[in-house]
């Protein structure tokens, strides 16, 4: 296989450390350190969790070695195109054109803004359109990070504008204020669409917007009074990254606005998107508006949808992904459109750099290693050191389970969450004890005892991403 583990005898002399199988027995609840052991000041010895999760791939050891010296005499790097994205069309620049085309098709640093780069979410788009057009309800799009919520919202907005909907898009922040945000929304709705304004009247000719009809201070009820007067069009208000809002009062006001708009059959609908595992995480417990809202969970991409995405790159850059490379990308991405694009782009670039139009499994492996190297490089040095130490190596399955458990919007997880991910392979008391070993200042985890419940989360989000990718790497190697 690609990432074959070496035995201790086969371990190279370059600093790579082989890992012994996890065959020790886990400390049970009745095996906690005694008072005498605690008084000696000796650190508790962690026993590795026994699970069906493979050990840490040996490739990761190379992430924490010192970088090799750069060869002398290398040519000075240069841009492939000018600032207007123009590339000369002669044969020598054909490779640069294909690279840029691949970036435009599969670039993962920005959400998809247009349908020409959209693939793999046709069912979700159809459900969203149906909820707005046929059911006349408000919609909450939720799921984990990188699952394609913002891209779906942008493509939906483009589709709705073609149908003459008046679409308003806003991105929420941590300090979002209800009055400020919705005043800016009202300022983008022409007053000519209000029932109180007739054509050829002074009000219509002024070119005012809905914001002039709002009082200086207003709440959801006053806003609904104004928006209920929309005629001649339908208004869609998209609030992206709704999970970032910290003020519970903002969320209560939005829920009240949804109820008021629905009760008045207003021609205004809201679409909220955010990181969450269920609907209640975003809108809270609000039974009064449940009949007015439809939740649209974003599921992981299937194999066919992964191939649909990669075909965008094939068509743009005139390359072809092998079946083996597609399987590798699908396995490593775990259904995340962001990772499919990221790995697909890197694998295609590796092939083009080698002068190939056929993306092989070797290029896929190169893409994975590049992504993991970049993620690791973005972490502070002390965190890299923590990941490379023996305790982290021994408890890799536990850390992977913690990364999966911390997929909520705020990243916090409990011992019970990790216990569930480990499928009962370790006792809760043992899990708590072992997690605490990584919850020191400048270590992998931070800890909160707020409200009497012990919670943990990774101090740096990049650690969680690296762990989940290593889990996928182990599955592929196995």
pLDDT at 383 over 50: yes
Give how far the C-alpha of residue 457 lies from the chain's centroid of Cα atoms, to the nearest Å. Answer: 16
Residue in this structure with the two tokens 């829920």, named with its chain if needed: 255
**Per-residue pLDDT averaged across 287-301, rounded?**
88
pLDDT band at 399 (very low <50, low <70, confident <90, very high): very high
pLDDT of residue 146: 81
Residue in this structure with the two tokens 């929420």, named with its chain if needed: 172
pLDDT at 111 over 80: no
Task: Kindly report, residue by residue over 122-144, the tens digit of the pLDDT.
Answer: 899 999 999 999 999 999 999 88
**Per-residue pLDDT averaged across 446-467, rounded?**
86
pLDDT of residue 114: 75
Task: Kindly report, residue by residue over 165-199, the tens digit of the pLDDT.
Answer: 999 999 998 888 999 999 999 999 999 999 988 77
**3 closest CA partner among 59, 63, 54:** 59
pLDDT of residue 39: 43
pLDDT of residue 343: 94
Crossing angle of helices 149-162 and 122-133, in 10° steps, is: 50
96-100, 202-206, 291-295: segment of lowest average pLDDT: 202-206
pLDDT of residue 55: 60
**Per-residue pLDDT averaged across 450-472, rounded?**
84
pLDDT band at 91 (very low <50, low <70, confident <90, very high): low
Distances (CA, A) of 164 to 154, 159, 227: 15, 9, 18
Task: Kindly report, residue by residue over 41-65, the tens digit of the pLDDT.
Answer: 444 444 555 555 556 655 566 555 5
Distance CA 236, CA 245 (A): 20
pLDDT of residue 18: 39
pLDDT of residue 227: 96
Distance CA 248, CA 254 (A): 10
**Per-residue pLDDT averaged across 69-90, rounded?**
61
pLDDT of residue 54: 53
pLDDT of residue 4: 38
pLDDT of residue 47: 53
pLDDT of residue 71: 66
Q: Please list the helix, strand and coil fractions of the chain in percent, rounded to the nearest 5, in that order.
A: 50, 10, 40
36: exposed, middle or buried (Cβ count in 10 Å: 0-12, 13-18, 19+): exposed
Contact by Cβ (8 Å): 405, 421: yes
How many CA atoms lie less than 13 Å away from 211 in the CB half-sphere?
Answer: 13
Share the mean pLDDT of the chain.
81
pLDDT of residue 442: 81
pLDDT of residue 85: 59
Phi and psi at residue 456, in whole multiples of 5°? -135, 160
pLDDT of residue 86: 58
**Per-residue pLDDT averaged across 403-408, rounded?**
82
pLDDT at 152 over 50: yes
Q: What is the dihedral of CA 203, 204, 206, 207, to 10 degrees?
A: 130
Task: Kindly report, residue by residue over 313-331, the tens digit of the pLDDT.
Answer: 999 999 999 999 999 999 8
Distance CA 159, CA 125 (A): 9
Distance CA 441, CA 14 (A): 31
| Sequence-ordered list of residues with C-beta below 8 angstroms from that of 387, at least 6 positions apart, any chain | 64, 376, 379, 444, 463, 466
């Amino acid at each position: 296989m690609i990432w074959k583990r070496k035995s201790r005898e086969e371990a190279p002399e370059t600093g790579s450390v082989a890992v012994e199988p996890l065959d020790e027995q886990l400390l049970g609840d009745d095996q906690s350190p005694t008072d005498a052991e605690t008084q000696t000041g000796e650190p508790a010895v962690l026993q590795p969790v026994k699970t069906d999760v493979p050990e840490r791939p040996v490739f990761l050891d190379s992430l924490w070695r010192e970088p090799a010296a750069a060869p002398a005499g290398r040519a000075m790097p240069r841009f492939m195109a000018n600032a207007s994205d123009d590339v000369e069309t002669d044969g020598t620049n054909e490779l640069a054109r294909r690279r840029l085309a691949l970036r435009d098709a599969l670039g993962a640093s920005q959400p998809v803004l247009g349908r020409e780069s959209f693939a793999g979410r046709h069912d979700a788009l159809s459900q969203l359109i149906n909820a707005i057009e046929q059911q006349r309800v408000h919609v909450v799009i939720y799921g984990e990070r990188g699952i394609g919520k913002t891209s779906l919202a942008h493509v939906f907005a483009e589709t709705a504008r073609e149908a003459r909907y008046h679409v308003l898009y806003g991105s929420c922040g941590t300090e979002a204020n209800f009055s400020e945000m919705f005043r800016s929304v009202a300022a983008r709705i022409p007053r000519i669409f209000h029932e109180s304004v007739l054509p050829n009247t002074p009000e219509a000719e002024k070119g005012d917007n809905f914001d002039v009809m709002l009082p200086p201070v207003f709440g959801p009820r006053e806003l609904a009074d104004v928006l209920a007067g929309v005629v001649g069009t339908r208004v869609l208000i998209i609030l992206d990254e709704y999970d970032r809002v910290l003020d519970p009062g903002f969320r209560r006001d939005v829920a009240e606005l949804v109820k008021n708009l629905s009760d008045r059959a207003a021609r205004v609908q809201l679409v909220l998107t955010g990181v969450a595992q269920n609907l209640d995480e975003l809108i809270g417990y609000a039974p009064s508006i449940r009949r007015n809202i439809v939740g649209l969970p974003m599921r992981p991409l299937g194999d066919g949808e992964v191939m649909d995405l990669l075909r965008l790159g094939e068509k743009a850059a005139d390359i072809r992904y092998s079946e083996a490379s597609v399987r590798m990308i699908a396995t490593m991405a775990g259904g995340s459109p962001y990772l499919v694009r990221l790995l697909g782009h890197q694998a295609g670039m590796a092939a083009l750099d080698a002068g190939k139009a056929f993306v092989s499994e070797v290029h896929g492996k190169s893409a994975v290693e590049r992504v993991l190297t970049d993620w690791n490089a973005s972490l502070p040095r002390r965190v890299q050191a923590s990941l490379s130490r023996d305790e982290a190596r021994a408890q890799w399955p536990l850390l992977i389970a913690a990364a999966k458990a911390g997929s909520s919007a705020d990243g916090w997880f409990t011992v019970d969450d990790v216990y569930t991910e480990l499928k009962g392979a370790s006792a809760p008391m043992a899990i708590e004890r072992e997690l605490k070993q990584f919850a020191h200042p400048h270590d992998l985890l931070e800890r909160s005892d707020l409200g009497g419940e012990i919670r943990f989360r990774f101090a740096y989000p990049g650690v969680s991403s690296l762990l989940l990718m290593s889990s996928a790497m182990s599955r592929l190697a196995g």
